[in-house]
Amino acid sequence: MNLKYKRRYENLKRCIKSYTLENAALTDEICHLQGELSATRTHRLYLIERLMFYEGLEKSSNGRNSLSNGKPESADNQAGSLKKIKPAAMQRKLSEEKPKNVGIIRKKKSVFPVNLNSVLLHSLGEIISGNPNFHSENWIYPVGYVATRIFAHPKDPRKKCVFTCKILNNAGIPQFQIIPDNDLDGVFFGESANACHMELLNTIQRCPNVKVKIPFELQGEVFFGLSNQKTQSLLMADPGFQQCSNFKSFIVPTSKSLNNPSISFETLQTFLS
């Protein structure tokens, strides 16, 4: 009998040793994957910042006048240079020809993502004009809208975090989502943009690192990027825009509201420092 139990005891010891080694290997693998995930998130944040910077730089450079010997060309000089390129006979021939397909106007489609300064618009979505829940007097909430912005991390407001803002259709009712990139379990959602924004701001205010009362303001639509004039112009070009019966006009935020700590990461840091 003693030999029988001794054999069982040895088997249990071997099993425990095997499980201990396997658990240690799994722990090492998890730590390695967490390190890679953290580095990937940091790299993604850096790439988003660079993308927003370069798209803003490209947009500003497109609005400049063309340069000639370091000086901007006037309209007369540009027209004169074009005349020099085309011979007079060719100009007469072009003037005699009748333009074809004059009535066809092709709209230039926006290439996504679109840089909205502080917001990066990935998808405009679709306007549901037949459902009054998806628009109000001053706002339109397209289903499938996706945008990202950089703001304070909800668990550590001194660190930057990429937030993905989405608008979904939940059985005929809009569902707004704010998803932090570094904490996929801490998703903020609600039936309005202000509800999501309020949950995020409350979480930041309750953070142990925050020792002062921050003058937050609810600006859900601004946080989502729906107040941006580029977004509004894209929505106005949608065929369903004219069919939104309850809608009257968009609200354009002031520069003061855009610099509020509830929207601007840099302004928030001045209250935390």
* pLDDT of 116: 83
Which H/E stretch holds residue 180? strand 173-180
**So where are the chain's domains?**
114-270
Q: Which fold has domain 114-270?
A: Double Stranded RNA Binding Domain (3.30.160)
Distance CA 273, CA 269 (A): 6
* pLDDT of 124: 92
Distance CA 271, CA 255 (A): 19
Tokens for 247, please give them: 């809608």
- The position carrying tokens 């001045």 is 270
pLDDT tens per residue, range 192-202: 999 999 999 99
The CA distances from residue 251 to 62, 135, 140, 221, in Å, are 27, 13, 11, 10
* pLDDT of 165: 94
Dihedral angle, C-alpha 45, 51, 54, 59, nearest 10 °: -130
Distance CA 157, CA 204 (A): 6
- In this prediction, the residues of the chain whose per-residue pLDDT falls under 70 are 1, 52-110, 182, 184
Neighbours of 92 (CB within 10 A): 10
Which H/E stretch holds residue 120? strand 119-123
